């Protein structure tokens, strides 16, 4: 695994031993290569590939020993735990099947579906993540939802998504893997649909997703500036003008902004305008005497492999995330944060878990970008469970 020297809002963090905290359930050895990618905030430039350093500065051998050490005191996430702007989590591993290979459907069923989580790192069945033992935790740990517990949480609710195409993958994966609706093979960039529990048709959830890469859903690379289009503004406002409104809104932006905006200053202006728009939407809801929805900001992924040097590189996305969260908080919009950047960063050094910009592409037994057959999709499945924790926690 390559470990990149990474700027976290101006602080140099070396993800070698402590930034990427790995707990193994077994002994072993590994080599870590420390690569420096971009220096002096050059990732914020519009053409960062011109400044890529990409030089190995250290090779470190690490030996892991299994021991009965005291583990961090983690509690299952509660609603208040999503108030942190930046998470500092870790992926831990609690099982491993060395004889696991990709199935004909592209899935990795390495552990039994009822393979249990190990306290305190998660709660529920770890096998449903199809991660061969990996699970993510942060300042709190997450519940792995069964289909029934997920439906019990989501019944009669309305979830509204506004963001990039990673939302599309995450929604489809939640429907397929968690809510057990395998016949939903894809969802479009823009949709508004009701879904029913196949085991109890009285349980339904309404999901609306509006792509924000461009006000024209067939185009790209506007990001938050898509909201400057009056027709697009009216489309969004329409969903908050009905007799009932979404109870939860999940906002994201970043990938398309990285290409569109020529500087961090320009993005700051665009983010402030978008935050002001959403503040206006909430004020409109308030004036109608309706309960305000909870609004979460889902941070943009750490782009992987070849995409680490492009206009939406992780250095830029990290800063853009911080800027947009700040603008949303100043406008009184955001209720909480779901730090998908932190979740994806440990897996962004190659394309095993991503195609560069997406971590949730549907499983398929096909040649992947890195030349192997099949790809790992568990990072986005983890996000699906984290979203449910945010939606359902009290």
* Segment 107-134 mean pLDDT: 97
* pLDDT of 5 strictly over 90: no
Are the CB atoms for 361 and 377 separated by under 8 Å? Answer: yes
pLDDT in the model for residue 61: 78
* pLDDT of 195 strictly over 60: yes
* pLDDT of 9 strictly over 50: no
Single pTM value for the model = 0.89
* pLDDT of 8 strictly over 60: no
248 beta partners: 159, 294
Lowest mean pLDDT among 11-20, 92-101, 158-167, 370-379: 11-20
> Which sequence spans correspond to the domains of the chain?
2-137, 146-392
Q: Give the 3-state secondary structure of residue 378.
A: helix
* Segment 372-382 mean pLDDT: 98
Helix (H) or strand (E) holding 59, with range, is: strand 55-64
Burial track 125-155 (b if 16+ CB lie within 10 A, e otherwise): bbbbbbbbbbbbbbebbbbbbbbeebbebbe
pLDDT in tens, 295-350: 999 999 999 999 998 999 999 999 999 999 999 999 999 999 999 999 999 999 99
- Distance (Å, rounded) from C-alpha 118 to C-alpha 194? 35
Are the CB atoms for 335 and 391 separated by under 8 Å? Answer: no
Dihedral, 282, 154, 192, 79 alpha carbons, nearest 10: 30
Provide the residue count of the chain: 394
- Distance (Å, rounded) from C-alpha 392 to C-alpha 343? 20
pLDDT level of residue 53 (50, 70, 90 thresholds): low
* pLDDT of 22 strictly over 50: no
* pLDDT of 228 strictly over 90: yes
* pLDDT of 23 strictly over 60: no
- Distance (Å, rounded) from C-alpha 284 to C-alpha 237? 9
- Distance (Å, rounded) from C-alpha 211 to C-alpha 171? 12
Angle at 133 between CA 131 and CA 138, to 5 degrees: 90
Angle at 228 between CA 355 and CA 8, to 5 degrees: 45
Q: What CATH number labels 146-392?
A: 3.40.50.1110
Angle at 379 between CA 373 and CA 382, to 5 degrees: 135
Q: Give the 3-state secondary structure of residue 162.
A: strand
* pLDDT of 372 strictly over 80: yes
* Segment 216-242 mean pLDDT: 97
Cα-Cα end-to-end distance for the chain:
37
pLDDT in tens, 79-94: 999 999 999 999 999 9
Long-range contacts of 118-125 (CB under 8 A, 24+ apart): 118/25, 118/94, 120/71, 120/72, 120/73, 120/74, 120/75, 121/23, 121/74, 121/92, 121/94, 123/76
- Distance (Å, rounded) from C-alpha 175 to C-alpha 184? 7
């Amino acid at each position: 695994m390559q470990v990149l020297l990474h700027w976290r809002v101006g602080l140099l963090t070396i993800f070698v031993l402590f930034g990427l905290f790995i707990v193994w359930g077994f002994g072993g050895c590994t080599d870590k290569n420390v690569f420096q990618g971009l220096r002096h905030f050059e990732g914020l430039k519009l053409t960062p590939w011109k400044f890529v350093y990409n030089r190995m500065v250290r090779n470190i051998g690490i030996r892991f020993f299994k021991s009965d050490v005291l583990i961090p005191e983690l509690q299952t996430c509660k609603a208040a735990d999503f108030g942190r702007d930046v998470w500092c989590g870790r992926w831990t591993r609690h099982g491993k099947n060395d004889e696991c290979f990709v199935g004909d459907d592209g899935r990795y069923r390495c552990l039994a579906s009822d393979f249990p989580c190990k306290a305190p790192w998660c709660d529920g069945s770890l096998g449903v993540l199809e991660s061969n033992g990996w699970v993510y935790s942060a300042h709190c740990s997450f519940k792995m939802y069964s289909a029934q517990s997920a439906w019990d949480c989501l019944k009669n609710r309305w979830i509204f998504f506004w963001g990039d195409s990673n939302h599309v993958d995450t929604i489809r994966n939640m429907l397929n893997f968690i809510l057990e609706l395998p016949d939903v093979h894809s969802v479009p960039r823009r949709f508004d649909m009701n879904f029913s529990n196949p085991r109890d048709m009285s349980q339904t959830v309404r999901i609306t997703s509006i792509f924000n890469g461009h006000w024209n859903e067939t185009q790209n690379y506007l990001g938050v500036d898509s909201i400057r289009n009056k027709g697009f503004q009216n489309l969004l406002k329409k969903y908050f003008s009905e007799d009932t409104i979404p109870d939860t809104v999940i906002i994201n932006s970043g990938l398309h902004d990285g290409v569109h905006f020529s500087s961090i200053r320009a993005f700051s202006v665009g983010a402030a305008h978008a935050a002001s728009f959403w503040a206006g939407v909430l004020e409109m809801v308030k004036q109608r005497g309706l309960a305000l929805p909870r609004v979460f900001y889902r941070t943009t992924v750490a782009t992987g492999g070849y995409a680490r040097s492009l206009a939406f590189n992780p250095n830029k996305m990290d800063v853009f995330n911080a800027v947009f969260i700040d603008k949303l908080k100043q406008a009184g919009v955001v209720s909480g944060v779901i730090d998908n950047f932190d979740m994806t960063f440990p897996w962004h050094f190659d394309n095993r878990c991503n195609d560069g910009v997406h971590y949730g592409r549907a499983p398929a037994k096909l040649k992947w970008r890195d030349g192997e057959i099949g790809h790992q999709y568990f990072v986005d499945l983890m996000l699906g469970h984290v979203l449910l924790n945010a939606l359902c926690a009290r």
